[in-house]
Amino acid sequence: MQIYLDYSATTPPRSKVVSYVNQILREEWGNPSSLHQWGQRAAMTMEIARTQVASLINANDPESVIFTSGGTEADNLAILGVARQYDTPQHLIISRVEHPAISEPVRYLEGLGWEVTRLPVNRQGRINPLDLKAAIQSNTVLISIIHGQSEVGTVQPIEELGNIAHAHGILFHTDAVQSAGRVTIDVQRLPIDLLSLSAHKIYGIQGAGALYVRNGLKIEPLLLGGGQEGKTRSGTQAVGMIAGFGLAAELAATEMIAESSRLIGLRDRLFDLMANCPYLVPTGDRLYRLPHHVSFVINYPFETDKTEKVTGKMIVRQMNLAGIAISAGSACHSGKLSPSPILLAMGYSEKEALRGIRLTLGIETTLEDIDWTAMVLKQVLNRLMPKLAIVN
């Protein structure tokens, strides 16, 4: 069997999306900034996609959607686009469990003199809104909190956090790359000024993303050039990728409620099947959790020299040999043998933070996949750490 359970890293593009992108690349390859019919057809294709992406998050004005090359650029545009409006360094707030696409541009600003507060999280990876209230200063200009954490699946209390920001007149951004298309996001109701999205997390094609910018809010561009995307993101747009993003967003919006319910059932079944495994401890919040997300830390009831060498990456390799794709935490960290900063922030030790694994489910995941994966994972763990017998 070949089982893919790494949907938080990337999703396989839908066949409908691939077919549509191929059609666009063949027929609507014009530059959308050109005034002739070839350009205008490409521009119309892009505006259809803009409307589709806006609808996914219930943005009432499609022009509030700025297309980018992906979630990382969208996050950078949000953070640096706000920061560049100020002549002198100010204060901003993030959490300790942000994606590197947030934490790294913030670290860059810190080097320029910006003051940064990184909010702590509890053992489940959730922020206490009281900590946000206490962190706000007179010069706080931006708060950025991840919506759904990619490594441990925890969903933050975004509405409450955003309300605190707005009560103090502070802009609020959220990275919703993992959440959009999986949980309902309504930017007309939620206190969100900026929101990041990515096509390849919702069965689109890698190379397209978007930043939602609330009407009336202006941010400084990162790229200077022809002034595309409302003068916020210069560069000729990748029309084919963007068109695919639009279709993927439309399909996700249509199917989200039913698909999320199905995934929650499979997610909880996998947690339940592994509950009798003494070598795994679930991570993240079980209640406030992404519907497709399962994660653990490897536990050693009897520590030995042999078991000390067992890491999350080792489990990933063993599962891969069995034809099952999982990951050692976030894909952006899984290539490095270093403790997960997310697990460290949640209070795990450095040894434990090397032992995280993540299984993320998607549209092609079946009940049989879950049952087979649970059986294989138990076998792998029992073989590597034979001190305890796993109950079948």
CATH of the domain at 196: 3.40.640.10
Asked if residue 392 is part of any domain, the answer here is no
pLDDT at 385: 80
Closest C-alpha among 314, 324, 292 to residue 8: 292
The CATH number for 379's domain is 3.90.1150.10
The contacts of residue 90 (CB under 8 Å, 6+ apart) are: 83, 114, 115, 139, 140, 141
User: Which pLDDT band holds residue 1 (cuts at 50, 70, 90)?
Assistant: confident
Q: What is the pLDDT of residues 116-125, one digit of tens each?
A: 999 999 999 9
pLDDT exceeds cutoff 70 at 209: yes
For helices 239-273 and 37-56, what crossing angle results, to 10°?
20
The verdict on 171 and 305 lying in the same domain is no
User: Which pLDDT band holds residue 329 (cuts at 50, 70, 90)?
Assistant: low
The verdict on 184 and 325 lying in the same domain is no
The verdict on 237 and 317 lying in the same domain is no
pLDDT at 384: 87
pLDDT at 253: 97
User: Which residue segment(s) compose the domain that 159 sits in?
Assistant: 15-252
pLDDT at 309: 75
The verdict on 151 and 30 lying in the same domain is yes
The verdict on 64 and 126 lying in the same domain is yes
Contact 224, 234 (CB under 8 A): yes
What predicted TM-score, i.e. pTM, was given to this entire model?
A: 0.94
For helices 239-273 and 367-384, what crossing angle results, to 10°?
60
What is the domain count for the chain? 2
Asked if residue 41 is part of any domain, the answer here is yes
pLDDT at 389: 47
The verdict on 182 and 228 lying in the same domain is yes
Asked if residue 347 is part of any domain, the answer here is yes
| Alpha-carbon distances, residue 274 vs 50, 100, 296, 382 (angstroms) | 42, 30, 10, 13
pLDDT at 308: 62
User: Residue 298: left if φ>0, alpha if ψ -120 to 50, beta else—which one?
Assistant: beta
The verdict on 21 and 164 lying in the same domain is yes
Closest C-alpha among 329, 330, 306 to residue 381: 306
Of the residues 206, 234, 252, the one at which a domain ends: 252
pLDDT at 178: 98
The verdict on 240 and 276 lying in the same domain is no
Mean pLDDT of the chain: 94
pLDDT at 338: 85
The verdict on 326 and 189 lying in the same domain is no
Between residues 331 and 122, the one the model is more confident about: 122
Average pLDDT of the segment spanning 191-200 = 98
Q: How far is CA 385 from the centre of its chain?
A: 32
The verdict on 210 and 351 lying in the same domain is no
Percent share of the chain, pLDDT over 90:
91
Average pLDDT of the segment spanning 169-194 = 98
User: Can 332 be counted among the known catalytic residues?
Assistant: yes
In the set 116, 314, 331, 332, the catalytic residue is: 332
37-41, 211-215, 296-300: the lowest-pLDDT one: 296-300
Q: What is the pLDDT of residues 82-101, one digit of tens each?
A: 999 999 999 999 999 999 99
